[in-house]
Amino acid sequence: MTCFLHSLSQQLISTQLVPSEKFLLCSSVSDDGQGQDWTLCLFWQDGTASDGGSIRVWREVLSLDQIEKDGSSEQDVVEAIESGMLQVVIRQRQVDTAILRTLDELQLKILVKPIPLLRWLGEGQVEDCIGMLMEATYRLLERPLAVADMEKRLGEEKDEDGDLEQLESLKAQIKERDAMLESVNRQLATLTSQASQSSQYLLSNSQRSPRPKLPKPPRGVSLLQPNQKRRRVVQEEFASNSD
């Protein structure tokens, strides 16, 4: 049985982190004779190859049937991954790159409709995922060649079907979608930061000690201040003298 989730890979950028960080998602499916398992690996490189940066990976293996149990279909998940509708969610308050060096698990959100698919990926060993990483590298290297061959073929044919114009239109749509996704992620990060600041402000206000209430004076005791009492006595004496 053909599984379209096998040998999928996609790059995603997390704008929640400061500065933003790139991840590589790899998807693979295996069959042990009793059922199909879906493996997700999310790679992140700490630094660059030139400065000896290390690679971390977060991984999850689940039954392929779990997709339908979560209310999605395999085809919807494939389309979301291929179109880059992915998001890395980090729930810690610290959102700089350093958090990735010690993070044991993170959440991957696959934006399928009507309900996004949420998966928790735990820390894995790069050695266990090196095969997926190599396969993804080969596939990513083949993509520019495939696009170049298509452009060459369409350029030579230039038939009346308008294939070349259609290709350019698709490229423009993809570019527009990527820009829109980046803008949405940026706005989401801003709203998350504002919500965090508002909650901290409300919490600090709730922790302030209330003003102490002054005890009520006994019944029959004048509420006039000393200066007001003296003024009242003088007024009464002046009124009696005038009589």
Chain-centre distance for alpha carbon 134: 27
In tens, the pLDDT along 148-168 reads 555 565 565 555 455 666 667
Residue 229 lies in a domain: no
Quick one: pLDDT band at residue 110, thresholds 50, 70, 90? very high
Residue 16 lies in a domain: yes
Residue 228 lies in a domain: no
- What pLDDT is stored for residue 24 in this prediction? 92
Neighbours of 46 (CB within 10 A): 15
Residue 25 lies in a domain: yes
Q: Which residue range is the domain that position 149 belongs to?
A: 8-155
Residue 93 lies in a domain: yes
In tens, the pLDDT along 47-72 reads 766 666 788 999 999 998 888 888 88
The two most distant CA atoms of the chain are separated, in Å, by 122
Q: pTM for this structure? A: 0.58
What CATH number is given to the structural domain containing 12?
A: 2.170.210
Residue 111 lies in a domain: yes
The secondary structure of the chain in percent helix, strand, coil, rounded to multiples of 5, reads: 45, 25, 30
Residue 125 lies in a domain: yes
Instruction: Confirm if 155 and 141 have CB atoms less than 8 A apart.
Output: no
Cα–Cα distance, 112 to 4 (Å, whole number): 16
* Tally of structural domains, the chain: 1
Mean pLDDT of the chain: 77
Residue 214 lies in a domain: no
Cα–Cα distance, 184 to 28 (Å, whole number): 28
